A and B are shown apart, each in its own frame.
Chain A
Amino acid sequence: MSNSKLTRRGLIKTGAVAGAAGLTLPTYLRADGHAGFTNAPTGDTVTLGFNVPQSGPYADEGADELRAYELAVEHLNGGGDGGMMNTFSSKALQGNGILGKKVEYVTGDTQTKSDAARASARSMIEKDGAVMITGGSSSGVAVAVQALCQEAGIIFMAGLTHSNDTTGKDKKANGFRHFFNSYMSGAALAPVLAANYGTDRKAYHLTADYNWGYTTEEAVRSSTEAMGWETVNAVKTPLTQTDFSSYIAPVLQSGADVLVLNHYGGNMVNSLTNAVQFGLRDKLVNDKNFEIVVPLYSRLMAKGAGANVKGIFGSTNWHWSLQDEGSKAFVQSFGTKYGFPPSQAAHTCYVQTLLYADAVERAGSFNPCAVVEALEDFEFDGMGNGKTLYRGADHQCFKDVLVVKGKENPQSEFDLLEIVEVTPVAQVTYDPDHPQFSGGNLGTCNPGA
């Protein structure tokens, strides 16, 4: 795609006449630094595109993401209590929009399908003149939209996407991920598992049969095997499976004493419920208590599985019970506006929006290449995960990872997980050319136009 134009709307607003031939203005006529890239905002507003699942299996997460985006826009435009803008280590944001332009937004429904997500993102770019696209609750969608944004010359700030591939083999120069990934889950979980369950365990994996499942299984396997665990078997389960009893029965015969459920969303709710109902957790195998592990937790999943999550370990990107200043400020303003605490999906989307706005402020331009430069190797703090680095080599954020456990005595329907350990960032850092992330090519930033 080469939209050799400024935004359609922006053009009208400034009254720039592109000539009867409809040709682009010659470069020398444009204000430097504010044109020469796709959808350069020319009026006194800037449009961001929030592309989240509003229907389909992750609609709950999408709704929470949208709440976070609305809150972020409010804060950027100077409304509300400012949330994390007050705790953010970079002080470039003034609460007067981005570069003095009021932030407006358009929304779209990804339906958690890459086709629909791309159609919706393209309409934001081509019709609404969005200069940045963000959101999504699945890696397939993130990878698809990221590639589109790279082609169109738009910045993509990924929402919830946990597969290694987003910043691994499918990484793109115009795409950035704040959320953590499968590798980090594995690296953070392994030591906690060793400390609680010992180092001579036999693990049995049930893995959702798609890309995210594969990378998560690989990550957890390699980290647990590195500390002495043995992987007895790894079975793939169809994504559409709702009853996992037939997969759970063979677990007991295999001699394994730990079950790892590489499942997400409804899959995890069902498989965990089945496993607990089978009484796996009351069994003694090899003279050890049988245990279950869920590599990626979310509050919404914990809610679905109810009492079954009690005492089960997993990892998460962020949790509202964190006590640092940034998290408290965010929970405070989200809670005031909506009446309940935010999920980790809401957190990552909120942070991504602020990070983008801040990068534009620091770069002094909306030009994607300037934004990329401002975000690469950017270190910040006060956004809820401690000191964080946006690594330039793969556009992945490196920060502390939370290991959590299902709470034994939840106080409310939101208070389902308790933080067991905050794994320091050093422990989850890897080389950009780590085998689990190899095969990608970041390329160079594309400003479009």
Chain B
Amino acid sequence: MFGLTKRDSTLLIIVILLTVLAPFILNPFPEGSAMAQFNAGYPDLMQRLVIFGIFAIGFNILFGLTGYLSFGHAAFLGVGSYAAIWMMKLLTMNVVPAIIISVVVAGLFSLLVGWISLRRSGIYFSILTLAFAQMSYSLAYSVLTPITGGETGLQPKVDDPRILDGALAAGQTPRANFFGLEMGTSYELELGNWIFTFNAGYYIAAIVMILAFYLSIRIFRSPFGMMLRAVKSNQQRVNYTGLNAKPYTLAAFVISGMYAGLAGGLLVAMDTQVGAERMFWTASGEVVLMTILGGAGTLIGPVLGAGFIKYMENIVSKINKSVLEQWFAFMPDGIEDFLIAIVYPFIGKGWHLTLGILFMLVVIFLPGGLVEGGQRIGRLFKRKKPSDDAADGKTTPAE
């Protein structure tokens, strides 16, 4: 299908199903039940899950294939966001031009940063990209305040020019739309005690993510992808065979920067606001975590990792003491207090702690990330079959 092997097609179809059915998958618990706290099927989080999925897919093209660890990818996300919001302020609230310009601007900026940073490799490359990202952050936060809004960031205002849009009706605020379809438009389906939200913005972002995912499969399987892998496994050898690796790595860097810009543009399209913190180094670190947690160099890993981290950030951080009290209310007083005392440090503001512990566990026990976890479970079920069929158990050669 679409020039993919059977295995890749299956993977693509799985991703398509997951994203299309996300409103159902993420809302497994009925409203009003104690577990409803863990429902993630509301528009904002679903949008974030796919957008950061795109960001991580792009990062994985650079890190997973070439092994260059960029520690400044959030800068491209931020630059894309600023470009998109200016497009919305000046031109039109339609998200299409905003998203296109965010990709273009992020691409140009990553060309500049990549051209300089790729002169070095390894830790020096990481530090250079980190320096660029922090520089962009500081510029946006203070020096460039007239362009970036500084600390308060940028939002569309009622009196922005928006030369392509007609005048707003009185009392209306500018809203991001896709040829008239507002991003916030939701359609809610009620089945018994469950409510499933289908949000226009989410599906637009989801379609973009599926396209981005498809493109990344094609890159992974192309000769270009093979060259990038060659750079990762032994760059010296590539050089000795007379190949110049730099154009390849630079291309990967720019593609990956454009993915980040795309994610930035989509973030603005879904939630029309940009702040400089989007470029802070912790944001760059987050995408590294996402990729490693999910499985660097695998196709679907970064998407899973992004989903995992965003879920933790948005769901676990919102559990507070009174929610815990509700959960454990059925227990005797002493035990209830004891359980609350034990669980409390890991929820609410302690979500970083929970995430850190899970990250450590994954890195120690599943070095290949969540994807490796999935593979191990898969193997567990597969292994049984041959042992049932083959009596001697020696049908597979030892590797």
Contact = CB atoms under 8 A, between A and B. Distances in A.
Contacts of B182: 1-2
A106 B318 contact: yes
Given A1-B184, A12-B32, A114-B275, A236 B151 contact: no
Interface string B140-166: 011101000111110101110000000
Interface string B54-82: 00000000000000000000000000000
A12 B195 contact: yes
Nearest to A444: B171
Contacts of B45: 119, 123, 127
Nearest to B198: A22
Interface stretch (A142-150, A250-258, A422-430): A142-150
B348 A107 contact: yes
B170 interface: yes
Interface string A1-31: 1111100110111000110001000000000
Given A55-B352, A441-B159, A114 B153 contact: yes
B321 to A, nearest CB: 9
A444 B170 contact: yes
Given A12-B31, A113-B277, A115-B278, A123 B170 contact: no
Contact of B195 (A8, A114, A118): A8
B70 to A, nearest CB: 20
Nearest to A172: B173
A218 interface: no
Nearest to B31: A12
Contacts of B150: 210-211, 214
A436 B64 CA distance: 50
Nearest to A112: B277
A170 interface: yes
Nearest to B141: A210
Interface stretch (B36-44, B212-220, B228-236, B379-387): B36-44
B318 A108 contact: yes
Interface secondary structure of B, over-half rule: mixed
Task: Specify which of B151, B173, B318 lies most central, judged by the most chain A CB atoms within 10 Å of its CB.
Answer: B151
Interface residues of A, number: 58
A170 B278 CA distance: 20
Given A5-B188, A151-B175, A140 B195 contact: no
Contact of B190 (A17, A138, A238): A17
A22 B142 contact: no
B142 A144 contact: no
B273 A119 contact: no
A169 to B, nearest CB: 9
A307 interface: no
B273 A22 contact: no
Contacts of B158: 441, 443
B9 interface: no
A105 B322 CA distance: 9
B31 A118 contact: no
B241 interface: no
A105 B320 CA distance: 10
Given A123-B45, A170-B152, A443-B173, A109 B31 contact: no
Contacts of B349: 54-55, 59, 109
B126 interface: no
Nearest to A147: B155
Contacts of A115: 273, 275, 277-278
A39 interface: no
A107 B188 contact: no
Contacts of A8: 31, 188, 195, 197
Contacts of A165: 152
B121 interface: no
A232 B318 CA distance: 48
Given A12-B32, A123-B45, A143-B152, A118 B141 contact: no
Contacts of A238: 138, 142
Contacts of A327: none
Contact of B186 (A4, A12, A18, A106): A4
A160 B208 CA distance: 39
Given A113-B277, A114-B275, A122-B271, A209 B171 contact: no
A120 interface: yes
A150 B173 contact: yes
A139 interface: yes
Contact of A123 (B44, B149, B171, B184): B44
Contact of A118 (B183, B271, B313, B322): B271
Nearest to A54: B349
A446 B42 contact: no
Given A8-B197, A148-B273, 15 more contacts: A2-B182, A2-B184, A4-B185, A22-B187, A59-B349, A113-B275, A115-B275, A115-B278, A120-B314, A163-B152, A211-B150, A211-B152, A212-B151, A238-B142, A239-B141
Nearest first, the 10 closest Cβ-Cβ pairs linking A and B are A1-B184, A114-B275, A54-B349, A122-B44, A209-B142, A113-B277, A444-B171, A211-B151, A140-B151, A210-B151
19 contacts: A1-B183, A2-B184, A5-B186, A8-B188, A12-B193, A109-B351, A115-B278, A116-B313, A118-B271, A119-B44, A119-B48, A119-B271, A119-B314, A123-B45, A126-B44, A127-B39, A144-B152, A144-B275, A209-B141
